[in-house]
Structure 1
Amino acid sequence: MKQQILFSFSLFLLTFSSFYYPINTASTAPASSPKLAPAPKSPSPASSKPLVPTLPDTSDSTTPDDITKILKKAKTFAILTRLLKTTEIVDNLNSQLITAKSGGLTIFAPDDSAFSNLKPGFLNSLNENKKIELLQFHILPQFVDSNNFDSLSNPVETVAGKDPLKLPFNVESLGNSVNISTGVVNATVTGVVYQDNKLAIYRLDKVLLPLDFFPSKVHASAPVAAKAPKADDHKDKSSSAEDNEDGETTQGQKKSGAVSFITIEGTRTMLVSLGVAFVAVAMI
């Protein structure tokens, strides 16, 4: 009887403890591993290539068929547009863009303020050929992206030609700055007017003046080559020295000969005089 009572009491305690104190299964479950926070992305290194700032959109989305339309839309290239039309260069440029399957063109466009900084009357002093050369000097026969100026090799060839003594065109890109020097002018590219896969037009703060427009500067910049001495010069100098020596010797010989002759003649005269004197004495 006592065993039955103890068994019933134990069962009661077990049921009571299970009801009021449930087993914490969460404490027995394996702890989940903490989630790792994603590593912060390292910032991409800044590009070392120069980037010319892009001006407000002045172009159409399609390939242009007239460069002057782009310049007119920019509204700051009236003088350049007039020169391109009067010299008829723009017709050739447009036809090249239409027919070219590769390559392209790069135009450095001085704005109106750049032309206004030229010496008064400078443009009017140029004949037709000089005006054409001036415009050609602002055009590269290749497409240069705004990020690829550092890929150019100096001196850069322009449509006007490639002559480091008469038409030097050197591009220097440093950081976000692109400068052009011609031996007369140092200009800066101030922005992108237009760019697609064949044509790039960049605005300049100065007009690029070719060095051959100023002959005095061309001669000053040209290296002076030392003249090699001619072989005949040594011969002439040695010959003249020999001639001088021979002349002095001959003159000396003539002088000494003259002295000898005078001495001999004087001796003969003295003998003749003595002979005449002896004859006279004998006759007396």
Structure 2
Amino acid sequence: MQATTEDAELNKELNTTNNGITIFAPSDNAFSSLKSGFLNALSDEDKTELVKFHVLPALVSSSQFQTVSNPVRTQAGTGPRVALNVTTTGNFVNISTGLTNTSISGTVYTDSQLAIYQIDKVLFPVDIFTPKPPAPAPAPELGKPGKAAPGAESPTAPKDISGALTPLILVHNNALPLAVLSCMVAAIFL
């Protein structure tokens, strides 16, 4: 938090607003389970967004999780790119981002302005951590004379891709994220 200056931002908010703050604090094991060097490889902007994604700009007591509206607003913003959803079953509070699914494992601290809850995984917003599709391969040059390798298709021969489009149509109808759809398209045409 200090490296991103989010600690100063939180102190300022706690002293100037009446809404309070809720923080989801990943356990030491949550950070230990990350790939070595993962956090250091992030840009400063991504680190800041990652920290802000763990902070709600309002105090949420443990009993209020049953009544929050999803997606829950974080300091990283709102919308599908930084969606954070909370579901409850009894006293069990589950948190899902689309990439991370975890639960609150305990209360670290709570008062009238601040609540800190321990979670078992680092929360990853889709905006930063969805794998980016590979860059498209350069288009083959058509019409140049040359000999194709034995068994290879002619570079000018059209490919029948009609069967390959069926999974795309099914995926699109189920509304998977655009990044997943893009990866599938790239895989089909590569």
- Report the TM-score, using the length of structure 1 for normalisation: 0.46
In structure 2, distance between residues paired with 1:163 and 1:221: 13
State which of 8, 12, 16 in structure 2 corresponds to 1:99. 16
> Where does residue 115 of structure 1 map in the other structure?
31
- Give matches, 1:243-258, under 5 Å: none
> Where does residue 196 of structure 1 map in the other structure?
111
Structure 2: runs of 5 or more not aligned: 134-174, 182-190
Instruction: Give 4+ residue runs of structure 1 displaced > 6 Å after superposition.
Output: none
Give the RMSD, CA atoms, in angstroms. 2.0
What percent of counterpart residues are identical?
Answer: 48
SS at match of 2:104: strand
1:124 aligns with 2:40: yes
Structure (1/2) with the larger strand percentage: 2
Cα shift at 1:217: 7.3
> Where does residue 133 of structure 1 map in the other structure?
49
In structure 1, distance between residues paired with 2:9 and 2:107: 22
> Where does residue 171 of structure 1 map in the other structure?
86
In structure 2, distance between residues paired with 1:217 and 1:85: 29
In structure 2, distance between residues paired with 1:159 and 1:214: 17
SS at match of 1:150: helix
Structure 1: runs of 5 or more not aligned: 1-83, 225-284
Cα shift at 1:182: 0.5
1:161 aligns with 2:77: yes
SS at match of 2:71: coil
Deviations 1:41-75 (A, max 9, x none): xxxxxxxxxxxxxxxxxxxxxxxxxxxxxxxxxxx
Cα shift at 1:220: 4.7
* Aligned CA distance change for structure 1 residues 187 and 145 (closer, same or farther; 3 Å): same
Deviations 1:197-248 (A, max 9, x none): 1110000110001111234479952498xxxxxxxxxxxxxxxxxxxxxxxx
Deviations 1:8-34 (A, max 9, x none): xxxxxxxxxxxxxxxxxxxxxxxxxxx
* Aligned CA distance change for structure 1 residues 168 and 130 (closer, same or farther; 3 Å): same
> Where does residue 88 of structure 1 map in the other structure?
5
In structure 1, distance between residues paired with 2:16 and 2:6: 16
> Where does residue 129 of structure 2 map in the other structure?
214
2:9 alignment partner AA: N
In structure 2, distance between residues paired with 1:213 and 1:146: 28
- Report the TM-score, using the length of structure 2 for normalisation: 0.68
Cα shift at 1:175: 0.9
State how many pairs are aligned.
139
* Aligned CA distance change for structure 1 residues 151 and 217 (closer, same or farther; 3 Å): farther
In structure 1, distance between residues paired with 2:130 and 2:16: 38
In structure 1, distance between residues paired with 2:130 and 2:124: 12
Deviations 1:105-127 (A, max 9, x none): 00000011110111222101101
In structure 2, distance between residues paired with 1:189 and 1:155: 17
1:205 aligns with 2:120: yes
> Where does residue 182 of structure 1 map in the other structure?
97
